Structures are given as structure tokens and as C-alpha cells.
Amino acid sequence: MTDAMTVRRALAQAGLAPIDAQVLLAHVLSRDRAWLVAHATDALAADQVDAFFALARRRREGEPVAYLTGVREFFGLPLAVDRSVLIPRPETETLVEWALRKLPADRPLRLLDLGTGSGAIALAIAQARPGSTVVATDNSADALSVARGNAARLQLSNIEWLRADWFDGLGMARFDAIVSNPPYVAAGDPHLAAGHVRHEPSHALASGPDGLDALRVIVAGAADHLVPGGWLAVEHGYDQTVPVRGLLQQARFGDLESLRDLSGIPRVAAGRAA
């Protein structure tokens, strides 16, 4: 008689890094990873085995775990994700942390998140500042659908969702702060065709020959949508600190700041409108 496939055997035979195997099996079983440890000798049903090894095969072929499970945690929030949105990165939490340090919690503010994708930045700020309003834009209807769904699941109602290409559709609206994690990879960068990045939407990653096309539009147009003394903060690539700082200076932003992520890599540039 064939031995039963147990939790331990399935994890060992997946051919994956342990954490990936654990996350995928926990997803199939609708359990958490701690449960797997406590039930390592439990037998799996045939359909559970089939589902797990199908996901494991896709993971070995390079598909991101977040797309396989349909969820990614960002700033402590479980966010639904699919192939229409970029997978939220831990380094982007640097941008949220900056915003929460700069923006007072004792009065209502209006904030703008450009290119919201899954809604990660907007949702994190909206939860931390429930008395404020966040306007979040994206030019992808599919991305906005994902973001709206995340807001509904998290029961966050202080966000306005707008389909727009950067500042289009905002009229004369002004904000206390504008934040954005735009595409900033050079179009010819070989990393776009490697690893899990090749599964993500290219329009959310690449932006012109030097990766700065979107950042040029955002920085140039931000002052027209900020209150006097309002802040702009953008995420950028590891090697773009100098050119992005130059864009901010050209647009007459002052009090310039540069922030590094937890890996020590320059990640966020910020400035205050005149």
C-alpha cells in the first residue's frame, strides 16, 4: 500500500525554497504556516496534493507566490493582487512611513496617490489617518477594480478612486501631499525579462529609455496640485537619486530629502512646494 502523502512529505517534494512551499501549502489548505508545523504528519487528500503540486510547478517556472495565492501583505494589510497590478514591495513602505511622519494626525488632510495599482500606498495611509481623505488614481480600470476590492475588504471608506493618467481629471484640486510609486525602470533593462518581474504588468515597471518619463510628468505637474508648502514624495530606482533630485530642483521644490529603504538603498525623494 502506498504511503499517504503527509504535510511534511509534500513540503519536502515540492522542489521549492521552504518558505515558498509552506506559503503555497498553507494557501491550499486554508491554514497558516504555524498549523503546518503542528500537523506535519497529517495526511493530505488527493485533491489537496494535486492543487499543491500544480502551484509548486508554476512557482518553479518563476511565477510569483503573490500571484499564485492572490494576496500580498503590505504595511500589515493583506492585499489582494493579480496580474493587473504590481506586487507591493517592502521597500515601498519607506514612502508610507515618510508620509506618516510628515503629515500631522491631529487635523484632516487631503492626499493624492498617483498610479495606485493595488491601492497599497493609499490604503496604508488611509488606515493610519482615518480623518483624512486620500484620492487614488490609476489609468487601468483593472487595477482600480483590485484597489476598490481591497478597500471594501479592509472597510476603508476615506479613499476616492479615480481613473486618470497622472494628473488628468483632477481639475484644480489641490492636496496637502502627493505620493507616488510610478514606473521607473528603463525600457531596455534586461531585468524586465528575468525572474518574477516578467510576470508583472510592464506598464507598471518601465518608463521610457532612462526610466524617468513618468517621474518627469509627476514632478513637473505636482506644484499645480499642492497647497503652498505641500509635499511631494516619489519612489525611484537605486541609481536615480541625482536625476530625480534635479527634477525636483528644476520644478522649484525646496527642503529636499532623500530616504533609504531598509536595505540602505536610496529609494524615496521628497520636496516641499514653494
**Residue pLDDT, tens place only, 28-80:** 999 999 999 999 999 999 999 999 999 999 999 999 999 999 999 999 999 99
What whole-number distance in Å separates Cα of residue 52 and Cα of residue 6? 12
Would you tell me how many other CB atoms lie within 10 Å of the CB of residue 28? Answer: 22
What is the pTM assigned to this prediction? 0.92
Contacts 24+ apart (CB under 8 A), 242-249: 243/210, 243/212, 244/212, 244/215, 244/219, 244/269, 245/269, 247/212, 247/215, 247/216, 247/219, 247/220, 248/219
pLDDT, mean of residues 121-147: 97
Calculate mean pLDDT across residues 18-26. 97
**From the candidate CATH numbers 3.90.190.20, 3.40.50.150, 3.30.70.380, 1.10.274.10, the one assigned to the domain spanning 84-272:** 3.40.50.150
Residue 188: the pLDDT is 87
- Residue 261, SS3 per DSSP: coil
- Arithmetic mean of pLDDT, 119-140: 97
Share of the chain above pLDDT 70, in %: 99
Whole-number pLDDT of residue 2: 53
Q: How far lies 39's CA from each of 14, 23, 33, 42, 218, in Å? A: 17, 15, 10, 5, 51
For residue 143, is pLDDT > 50?
yes
DSSP annotation of 104: -
Q: Across the strands, what pairs with 270?
A: 233, 257
Q: CB-based contacts of 12: which residues, under 8 Å, 6+ apart?
A: none
What is the arithmetic mean of pLDDT over 148-175? 96
Say if CB 255 and CB 240 are below 8 A apart.
no
> So what's the pLDDT on residue 4?
87
**Direct distance between the N- and C-terminal alpha carbons of the chain, in angstroms, rounded to an integer:** 77
Contact between 11 and 36 under an 8 Å Cβ cutoff? The reply is yes
CA-based nearest residue to 59, from 85, 8, 29, 25? 25
**Span 167-175, mean pLDDT?**
94
Closest to 204 (Cα-Cα) out of 182, 233, 187: 182
Percent of the chain, pLDDT > 90?
91
Task: Please give the single-letter amino acid code of residue 130.
Answer: P
* 5/176 Cα distance (integer angstroms): 57
The cell for 178 is: 502627493
Q: Which residue has the cell 493609499?
A: 122
Per DSSP, 252 falls in state: T
Contact partners, residue 186, CB within 8 Å, separation at least 6: 206, 208, 209, 210, 211
pLDDT at 1: 38
pLDDT at residue 3 is higher than 80: no
Query: Of 64, 53, 270, 71, nearest to 181 (Cα)?
Result: 270
Q: How confident is the model at residue 153 (pLDDT cuts 50, 70, 90)?
A: very high
- Grid coordinates of 152: 471594501
